[in-house]
């Protein structure tokens, strides 16, 4: 990343092993006592805090062994995040100073019009892009000091991506598409288990062309979650699907969030989908316009558009 040298690489190197152990389900006794899924059960399904709230400055190391419903720890602390793209003579300010916390185990919907900066934020959180200014802390780690190797491990072990277009390898079966990830992950589930989780246990040997769009997206979700990531980032996961199929896909995402405790961020421009979130972050013109907590979140089956 651009500022890795300026900030030095010590943080990434010294801290990374701990983070990797956390991903593998092992916990440094000085750092962490409660696995994410357990924390999810102990904590609230409706994180109460909003951007820049009292979580500021708290990191996993300092949190209590059994967090109360009022105090889920932040997994991401985003501060002053800006991204400017230089397109020839033109500068595009995709993000203009975003402050936001995302909490462990929550399901957040990022809502806003096209071009408001949602994907840019998701790409930075997922280590696919680097900010121009500002910082992202992931647990005890500052993403901006990760060198290329640390960033690769971060993406490989900690982050699952789901995109609007499923990006499956056409010449591989559903099982083989998932195995591409499980073969390089530290503590994966079996491809068959991941595909069963998304309701495709009976489609293991189907090629993408033999699957519907919704089924292909569920294979993509199985692929993303098979490595048991701490974070699932979904960019318009239902954008190419009709509403009933989209509901099925959202149901799988909600299930992964609920059963694995995976912190989940879903980008959409469809405000109906926001009703299934713990919190809804509204974007506008590269900024967070508002953050709202859903007093009651709906199940995807209750949604229609």
- Quick one: 45 or 123, whose CB is closer to ligand ADP? 123
4's CB contacts (< 8 A; 6+ apart) are 12, 144, 145, 146, 147
Nearby residues of 3 by Cβ (< 8 Å), 6 or more positions away: 130, 144, 145
The reply on whether position 2 binds ligand ADP by CB under 6 A is no
- Is residue 160 within the footprint of ligand ADP (CB under 6 A)? no
Would you count residue 92 as binding ligand ADP (CB under 6 A)? yes
Do residues 78 and 108 lie in contact, with contact meaning Cβ atoms separated by under 8 Å? no
Of 115-123, 175-183, 223-231, 271-279: span binding ligand ADP (CB under 6 A): 115-123
Give me the 43-82 binding string for ligand ADP, x by CB under 6 A, dash otherwise: ----------------------------------------
94 binds ligand ADP, rule: CB under 6 A: yes
164 touches 240 (CB < 8 A): yes
In the complex, the smallest distance separating the C-beta of residue 161 from ligand ADP, rounded to whole angstroms, is 14
Indicate if the alpha-carbon torsion angle 135, 137, 140, 142 is positive or negative: negative
Instruction: Give the nearest distance from C-beta 37 to ligand ADP in angstroms.
Output: 30
Give the range of 3-11, 67-75, 112-120, 135-143 binding ligand ADP by CB under 6 A. Answer: 112-120
Residue with tokens 């690489």: 9
Instruction: Give the list of residues 6+ apart from residue 58 with CB closer than 8 angstroms, or none.
Output: 73, 74
Q: Output the smallest distance, CB 76 to ligand ADP, in A.
A: 17
**85 vs 165, which CB is nearer to ligand ADP?**
85
The nearest distance, CB 256 to ligand ADP, in angstroms, is 22
Select 67 or 286, whichever has its Cβ closest to ligand ADP: 286
18, 63, 118, 227: which one contacts ligand ADP (CB under 6 A)? 118
The one segment of 70-78, 114-122, 131-139, 160-168 that binds ligand ADP by CB under 6 A: 114-122
Distance CA 149, CA 33 (A): 27
CA distance 63 to 74: 10
Instruction: Give whichever of 116 and 226 is closer to ligand ADP, judged by the CB atom.
Output: 116
Q: Which stretch binds ligand ADP (CB under 6 A): 116-124, 135-143, 199-207, 243-251?
A: 116-124
- CB within 8 A of 124, min separation 6: which ones? 81, 83, 95, 130, 131, 136, 143
Kindly state whether residue 119 participates in binding ligand ADP, applying the rule CB under 6 A: yes
**Sign of the torsion angle spanned by Cα atoms 265, 270, 271, 274:** negative
CB of 247 to ligand ADP, least distance (A): 22
Q: Is 289 in the site for ligand ADP (CB under 6 A)?
A: no
Comparing CA positions, the residue from 279, 281, 276, 277 lying closest to residue 304 is 276
**C-alpha to C-alpha distances, 176 to 96, 156, 183, 191, 216, nearest whole angstrom:** 41, 17, 10, 8, 13
Name which of 94 and 247 has its Cβ closer to ligand ADP. Answer: 94
Helix orientation angle between 243-260 and 213-225, rounded to the nearest 10 degrees: 20
CB of 39 to ligand ADP, least distance (A): 30
Nearest to ligand ADP of 21, 123 (CB atom): 123
Interacting residues with ligand ADP (CB under 6 A) = 85, 87, 92, 94, 112, 114-120
């Amino acid at each position: 990343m651009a500022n890795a040298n300026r900030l030095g690489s010590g943080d990434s190197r010294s801290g990374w092993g701990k983070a990797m152990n956390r991903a593998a389900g092992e916990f440094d006794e000085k750092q962490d006592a409660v696995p994410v899924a357990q924390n999810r059960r102990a904590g609230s399904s409706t994180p109460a805090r909003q951007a820049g709230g009292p979580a500021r400055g708290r990191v996993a190391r300092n949190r209590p062994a059994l967090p109360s419903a009022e105090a889920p720890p932040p997994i991401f602390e985003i501060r002053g995040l800006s991204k400017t793209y230089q397109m020839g003579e033109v500068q595009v300010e995709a993000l203009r100073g975003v402050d936001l916390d995302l909490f462990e185990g929550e399901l957040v919907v990022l809502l806003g019009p096209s071009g408001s900066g949602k994907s840019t934020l998701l790409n930075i959180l997922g280590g696919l892009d680097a900010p121009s200014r500002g910082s992202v802390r992931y647990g005890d780690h500052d993403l901006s000091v990760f060198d290329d190797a640390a960033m690769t491990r971060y993406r490989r072990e900690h982050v699952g991506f789901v995109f609007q277009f499923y990006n499956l390898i056409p010449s591989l079966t559903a099982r083989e598409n998932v195995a591409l990830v499980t073969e390089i992950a530290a503590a994966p589930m079996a491809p068959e288990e991941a595909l069963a989780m998304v309701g495709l246990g009976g489609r293991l040997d189907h090629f993408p062309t033999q699957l519907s769009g919704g089924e292909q997206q569920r294979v993509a979700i199985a692929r993303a979650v098979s490595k048991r990531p701490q974070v699932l980032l979904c960019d318009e996961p239902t954008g190419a699907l009709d509403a009933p199929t989209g509901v099925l896909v959202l149901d799988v995402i909600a299930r992964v969030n609920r059963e694995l405790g995976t912190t989940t961020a879903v980008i959409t421009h469809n405000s109906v989908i926001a009703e299934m979130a713990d919190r809804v972050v509204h974007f506008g013109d590269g900024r967070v316009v508002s953050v709202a907590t859903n007093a009651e979140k709906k199940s995807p089956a209750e949604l229609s558009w």
